[in-house]
Amino acid sequence: MSARVLVVDDERSMCELLETSLGKRGFEVISKTSAAEAFHTLTGGAFDVVVTDLNMKGMSGVELCERIVAEHPDTPVVVMTAFGSIETAVTAIRAGAYDFLTKPIELETLRLTIDRAVQHRALRAEVTRLRRAVSQSRRFDELIGSSPAMCRVYDLLDRVCEVDASVLVTGESGTGKEMVARALHRRGKRRSGPFVAINCAAVPENLLESELFGHARGAFTDAHSARPGLFLQASGGTLFLDEIAELPLALQPKLLRALQERTVRAVGSDAETPFDARIVTATNRDLEAMVEGQRFREDLFYRVNVIRVELPPLRERGADVLVLARHFIQHYATTFAKRVEGLTSQASQRLLAYAWPGNVRELQNCIERAVALTRLDAIDVEDLPPKVQHHRPAHAVIVADDPSEIAPLEEVERRYILGVLEAVGGSRTLAAQKLGLDRKTLYRKLEQYGVPKGSSKL
């Protein structure tokens, strides 16, 4: 649809000139020869831009601009005058004008100015919409989003936050598993106690036992004094064991005993010390497959998997992508002291089209980069990382006009399975669920296709 422009000038000839010229350039133009009449017309109908002369009989262009800004703040005003000077320009801008042009008007310059004003209006409308979406979106503590998948997560968290049952949080890397653990702690009855977190993959195996369970004085070299482990440090609060799948097999029986007996034995000690902490674990691995492969104890799996909270990948959360992007824009605009208010429609489309294999963490990184680089008040496509700019979803061709190009059924199946595996970020468990196959069947087919065992790369 063409933009609607309201032209205001007390010279009829100027109104007719602009009506004709802008009309030829695709705008829908209505003109008025008095500011009072123009304001009345604006009140009765929607216009994308107002172009007004500055010096007119009766109400001046500055007064008209002030009234429009006060009562129709979403409508940009472009001011024209035959008496161009710094003082008049400052007066117009202070009145709230979007831009200032001097007569005689260059029609192409006016067209470009109107185009920018229309884009500015659309951006402000998008910013308002996204702000409303952020304020109205459901959230659970720091988790943000209103997609059906996230609403199901919130409902489950709401039911389990006040009970002490063990919780296993699963999901791809970057989906916010630690945020879930912190939300459960802050919303639960242990909120006044400590929240203690450890990444089981980040601590060397020979130190992990001491870190978790503590050690007695003299238990090993440099153990000059006794030290309580994280289980005791978390007493009265929550202990979060991230990357639980990376726990060494040799240490798993001791963790199982601690969870069953609610006591820990420090390294080098014979004494059992009780602890009182809620246990939340997390992993991005398929623990059931690891149990089948004898890389994770089955009894420990059932002990930590009392209540499972499965976080959806970002690609399955729809418009949550834009809600989260707006949240991150607000944060980084403040951090970098930049006036960045939103996204252009083109940038929004690219964000929605991208698959986000790194999930929310990747989106956050993308927006931080975009806010840091942009020179505008809105993030545009050029501000996004190249892989987001140029992403094109992969589609398998199943039929073709030329019968010789039609693929055999086995080839179609191969392309489809590999396409689904790529779409879910390489997760074989999730791919099997989407395809309706059991994991062993999928693994066998992937082996036939030459995809190495343990690899997510195609």
pLDDT band at 432 (very low <50, low <70, confident <90, very high): confident
Per-residue model confidence (pLDDT) at position 351: 93
Q: What letters, b where the CB count within 10 A reaches 16 and e where it falls short, cover 54-83?
A: bebeebbbbebbbbbbeebeebbbbbbbee
Side-chain half-sphere of 270: how many Cα atoms within 13 Å?
0
Q: Which of 351, 411, 405 is nearest to 378 (CA)?
A: 351
- 232 with 269: CB under 8 angstroms? no
Q: What stretches of 152-271 adopt beta strand conformation (E)?
A: 167-170, 195-199, 214-215, 227-228, 238-242, 263-265
Per-residue model confidence (pLDDT) at position 400: 41
Owner of token pair 């242990």: 190
Which of these ranges, 117-131, 201-215, 254-268, 349-363, has the smallest mean pLDDT?
117-131
Task: Answer yes or no: is pLDDT of 327 > 70.
Answer: yes
Per-residue model confidence (pLDDT) at position 456: 43
Per-residue model confidence (pLDDT) at position 60: 87
Per-residue model confidence (pLDDT) at position 140: 80
Per-residue model confidence (pLDDT) at position 120: 82
pLDDT band at 137 (very low <50, low <70, confident <90, very high): low
pLDDT band at 415 (very low <50, low <70, confident <90, very high): confident
Which of these ranges, 131-140, 165-174, 358-367, 386-395, has the smallest mean pLDDT?
131-140
Per-residue model confidence (pLDDT) at position 411: 63
Task: Answer yes or no: is pLDDT of 192 > 60.
Answer: yes
For residue 378, the tally of other CB atoms under 10 A from its CB is 22
Side-chain half-sphere of 198: how many Cα atoms within 13 Å?
24
Based on the number of CB atoms within 10 Å of its own CB, is 296 exposed (0-12), middle (13-18) or buried (19 or more)? buried
Which of these ranges, 204-208, 250-254, 305-309, has the smallest mean pLDDT?
204-208
For residue 447, the tally of other CB atoms under 10 A from its CB is 11
Per-residue model confidence (pLDDT) at position 458: 35
> Could you report the per-residue pLDDT of 373-388, keeping only the tens digit for each?
999 889 999 999 999 9
d(CA 445, CA 423): 17
Which of these ranges, 6-15, 104-113, 150-159, 413-422, has the smallest mean pLDDT?
413-422
> Could you report the per-residue pLDDT of 109-128, keeping only the tens digit for each?
898 999 888 888 887 777 66
Average pLDDT of the chain?
86
Q: Which of 23, 26, 70, 68 is nearest to 50 (CA)?
A: 68
- 406 with 399: CB under 8 angstroms? yes
> Could you report the per-residue pLDDT of 22-78, keeping only the tens digit for each?
988 889 999 999 999 999 888 777 889 999 998 888 888 889 999 998 888 889 999
Side-chain half-sphere of 224: how many Cα atoms within 13 Å?
1
Per-residue model confidence (pLDDT) at position 457: 39
Segment 171-175 shows an average pLDDT of 93
Q: Which of 170, 172, 143, 147 is nearest to 357 (CA)?
A: 172
- Tell me the three state secondary structure of residue 230: helix
Residue 212 to residues 203, 231, 234, 325, Cα–Cα distance (Å): 10, 6, 10, 37
Per-residue model confidence (pLDDT) at position 85: 65
